[in-house]
Amino acid sequence: MARQFAVIGLGRFGYSVAETLIKKGYEVLAIDNDEAKIEAVSDFATYAVQCDATDERALKAVSVKNVDVAVVSIGENIEASILIVMTLKELGVKEIMAKAVTPLHGKILANMGVTEVIYPERDAAIRLAHRLIAPNVLEYLELAQGYSIEEIEVPGQFVGKPLRDAQIRTTYGINVIAIKRRVTKLVRGEWQNVEEMNVNPDAEDILQKGDVMVIVGKEEDLDRLSKLG
């Protein structure tokens, strides 16, 4: 059976999490104590419940214990966020992802044993800063301390060369895991500019101007490559 989710707190973050999961076809129990927030999701959420999630009886009544993953997305009221996580743990919810707004909030959540603490604003800021430092870095995601995955436009010196001759792995210790390319294609009788993703790039694939490489490696190596321009 597909994984079932609960999203508690439908602010901007929680709402987007719930919306994306639902669009992907998953069942989502959406909870908020604000009637307007429940109204906003009730058309598309599988179950939308208005209740105070710090109230253990309310969480029991909506059978939150049956979900596989609960996302707690409450920032402003740190006390509520902690109480809710505590209740979810008591009810036996195995996977809890909780949003934190300050390092202290995050530390408390981590000490309570949540599966993952998420800092959406901090993470978005870090990604933006990396893109500002290296404008040809289009996307950035830290995988582990010191290791990242990035999307960069193919540096000019590699254009027209097969991947093998770019020597990216031998020179930089970086793996190219995919290549994105915009192509004009006939789609349902209409010419359209679409993005194609080659997730299994071959050594013989020729890099073209405008291609975007998805690369993975050590941050210092990625920095050297992304500075090529």
Residues that bind ligand ATP (CB under 6 A): 9-14, 31-34, 37, 52-54, 73-77, 80, 101
Instruction: Rank residues 69 and 80 by Cβ distance to ligand ATP and give the closer one.
Output: 80
Distance of closest approach, residue 13 Cβ to ligand ATP, in angstroms? 3
Distance of closest approach, residue 156 Cβ to ligand ATP, in angstroms? 40
- In angstroms, the CA 213 to CA 139 distance is 10
Distance of closest approach, residue 218 Cβ to ligand ATP, in angstroms? 33
- In angstroms, the CA 213 to CA 34 distance is 44
DSSP-based three-state secondary structure for 162: strand
SS (H, E, C) 8-28: ECCCHHHHHHHHHHHHCCCEE
- In angstroms, the CA 180 to CA 98 distance is 33
Which strands make up the sheet holding 4-8, listed edge to edge?
A: 47-50, 27-32, 4-8, 69-72, 95-99, 116-118
- In angstroms, the CA 174 to CA 217 distance is 5
Instruction: Rank residues 74 and 212 by Cβ distance to ligand ATP and give the closer one.
Output: 74
In 3D space, the residue among 150, 116, 110 whose CA is nearest the CA of residue 130 turns out to be 150
User: What is the chain's alpha carbon radius of gyration, rounded to the nearest angstrom?
Assistant: 22
- In angstroms, the CA 94 to CA 64 distance is 11
Instruction: Rank residues 4 and 16 by Cβ distance to ligand ATP and give the closer one.
Output: 16
Instruction: Rank residues 15 and 140 by Cβ distance to ligand ATP and give the closer one.
Output: 15
Instruction: Rank residues 81 and 226 by Cβ distance to ligand ATP and give the closer one.
Output: 81
Distance of closest approach, residue 188 Cβ to ligand ATP, in angstroms? 38
Distance of closest approach, residue 49 Cβ to ligand ATP, in angstroms? 9
Distance of closest approach, residue 215 Cβ to ligand ATP, in angstroms? 31
Using an 8 Å Cβ cutoff, are 107 and 130 in contact? no
Instruction: Rank residues 76 and 190 by Cβ distance to ligand ATP and give the closer one.
Output: 76
